[in-house]
Structure 1
Amino acid sequence: MNRSKRHPMPACFRILPLVLFLILTQGVMAQPGKDQTEVIISKKLSTEVTTVDVWLLSGQSNMQGVGKVSDLPEDIPREIPNAWYWNQKEFEPLVLGKTKTSSRAGEFGPEVGFALGLATPEHPVYLIKYHASGMPLHHGWHANQWQGAEPAPGRRNFYPGESAEDPNQGTLYQAMLKQYVAGIEHLKTQHKSPVIRGFLWMQGEQDSKHELSATTYAMSLKRLRDRLSSDLQVKKLPMVFGQVLPHEPALERFTHRTEIRASMAAADADSGSPDAIPLVKMVSTDGFELLSDTVHYNASGQLKLGRAMAESLRSLVDLTSH
């Protein structure tokens, strides 16, 4: 019986299965699996930049704050929602009694009421605060010693100078600016784009002790705001400040209380005075509760001060945009 002779399979058909296998395998390998997708998404999220609102605070003892956390009412949350505080190393959640915002543990300043009045989930607040108890703004002062009307280098005050290179800049202004820059630069390393929204100032008791520093306080405020705006490259820097020494009669050491309060009132953008400063608002502190020393605000007074500052800044800043 004759059997049909088998012919060898052409080479092209023999390699076809191998080609198909390689094509299918490469197609599957080219598609990222679940783990690969998670890595890609994680990398994307880690490099996204978030715009955040930064608020700068400074002043002397009533900015430092001596309000007692233990005296706050029960309805004040111990962790202030949507608020972050610069601790010289990083921004930490603002937790009362834990976050050190004053020189002494368990005390606080206007930052608490301010954060409560302004922070939202959509617009958290990032706070950078600098304070120096009992210290002046006017260049004539060196700490609590009056040195004369002309500025000089190395004086312990908040005098900002007439330019960034002014050798007469006060050492406190230099330290304040350095702290602000450090906090701002840190945010950039955390994939955040910091927007400086405003400047809160609570100072003036020391300047009330000499006629020149008291009567020219509005001029000193304008110089401070404008210099800080320039040094931080903020085209328009809104500023709010509190009027000092609401108690009457004032202690004897505040010899020019009336003059400095008048100069402060004139500095308000809506005062109608030639000394009015655009984008600057004064908060009247009349009626804010004080300690028995009649100078420093207690816990209730500090809450009111911070909330009043927040409300004033609402009139200066569009909080819905960046």
Structure 2
Amino acid sequence: MKRYSFILAFAAVPILAFAQPKKDTIRVFYLGGQSNMEGFGKTAELPDALQKKFTDVYIYHGNPTGDEDQNGGLGKWDILQPGHGSGFASNGKVNTLSDRFGIEITFAKHLSELYPRQKIAIIKYARNGSSIDSIVKGDFGCWEPDYKGKGPNQYDFFLKTVRDAMAVKDINGDGREDILVPSGIVWMQGESDAYGNEAVAHNYFSNLKRLMDLMRAALHNNDIPVVIGKISDSGDEPDGKVWSYGEIVQAAQEKYAATAHHAAIVRTTSTYQYSDKFHYNTAGYIDFGKQCADAIAKFKFF
């Protein structure tokens, strides 16, 4: 009997020794676009409640560069905190925070409040001044999937950012494998396509639809919710318009939200004050993040 008891006890050891640790399921949201997604809110003006590290939320922020720069999209997972706005940089090993922030702070905070039992992470890649159409890209870059330049463009950097972020098995370093579930896209862009070229503005709907379709495919979920931030105009020009063809792009954004499946639009941008003629002020970014979280939550996907 003793011999058999020993055998049974020994046989049980591998079951315990090789038991798989529990995996974490984390909902991931992609934030992309141009400067009002990159973020020009001033971290020094954030209220005390937002001046902190959000230890339960992680962010992978791809290094924003112009087209054809091989450093575009480099990044690493890190704890979310202020500083992921304009001026942020990463070499893939070290993230360098800036004195600016975007919608990521209040977007993640509000989603965490709405879904306190759900772990949340953010993948961000946005580039100041970037257009979708390559015709008006200038030095800032474009998101055109069929770009014929000498090297990668903003769409390629999006792909790199997402691919590298999703490849990490343990984003928070807690020893548990993380199952990353893409759960939403928030897109704030269009100003550059509304500036100076009427034909480009008229092509915005088809360009936006194709880009969102491809982004959904890259995230392996054709039903993933898409929230569009509606562009607005500060009016800070002699004729009262910064974006010559802004109304055309706005109409295209409304059409996309009305016709694409699982799509919505945030219109409160028209009420925000500006820090310069292109960018919202700090209060605008704080509210914008909340509005985008509410728009995602209405889909009730999780």
Correspondences of 1:5-20 after superposition (within 5 Å):
none
Please name the residue that 2:71 is paired with. none
- CA deviation profile, 1:72-103 (whole Å, cap 9, x unmatched): 11233512363111155542221235xx4542
Does the aligned pair in 1 maintain the 2:227–2:292 contact within 8 Å?
yes
Identity of aligned residues (%): 23
The two structures, once aligned, show a CA RMSD in angstroms of 3.0
Please name the residue that 2:180 is paired with. 194
Compute the displacement of 1:29 (Å).
Answer: 7.6
For 1:288 and 1:81, how far apart are their aligned partners in 2? 29
For 1:226 and 1:295, how far apart are their aligned partners in 2? 28
Compute the displacement of 1:44 (Å).
Answer: 2.7
Question: Are residues 1:94 and 2:83 paired?
Answer: no
TM-score normalised according to structure 2 size: 0.78
For 1:101 and 1:252, how far apart are their aligned partners in 2? 26
Q: Any idea what SS the aligned residue of 2:168 has?
A: helix
- CA deviation profile, 1:250-297 (whole Å, cap 9, x unmatched): 56652212222222222222xxxxxx3222211111212321x13212
For 2:16 and 2:279, how far apart are their aligned partners in 1? 51
Please name the residue that 2:234 is paired with. 247
Compute the displacement of 1:308 (Å).
Answer: 0.7
For 2:82 and 2:49, how far apart are their aligned partners in 1? 13
Question: Are residues 1:69 and 2:52 paired?
Answer: no
Question: Are residues 1:266 and 2:259 paired?
Answer: no
Structure 2: gaps (5+ residues): 62-73, 89-97
Compute the displacement of 1:167 (Å).
Answer: 5.9
Determine which of 16, 21, 25 is the counterpart of 1:51: 25
Please name the residue that 1:31 is paired with. 9
Question: Are residues 1:303 and 2:286 paired?
Answer: yes
Correspondences of 1:207-286 after superposition (within 5 Å):
207-209=193-195, 210-248=197-235, 254-269=243-258, 276-284=259-267, 285-286=269-270
Please name the residue that 2:93 is paired with. none
* Distance change in 2, residues 1:170/1:157 (3 Å): farther
Please name the residue that 2:110 is paired with. 117
Does the aligned pair in 1 maintain the 2:201–2:245 contact within 8 Å?
yes
Amino acid at match of 1:137: I
* Distance change in 2, residues 1:90/1:44 (3 Å): farther
For 1:220 and 1:110, how far apart are their aligned partners in 2? 24
For 2:81 and 2:137, how far apart are their aligned partners in 1? 35
For 2:8 and 2:125, how far apart are their aligned partners in 1? 55
Please name the residue that 2:131 is paired with. 136
* Distance change in 2, residues 1:252/1:289 (3 Å): closer
Q: Of the two, which has the highest radius of gyration?
A: 1
Does the aligned pair in 2 maintain the 1:91–1:126 contact within 8 Å?
no
For 2:224 and 2:25, how far apart are their aligned partners in 1? 17
Compute the displacement of 1:306 (Å).
Answer: 0.9
Q: Any idea what SS the aligned residue of 1:281 has?
A: strand
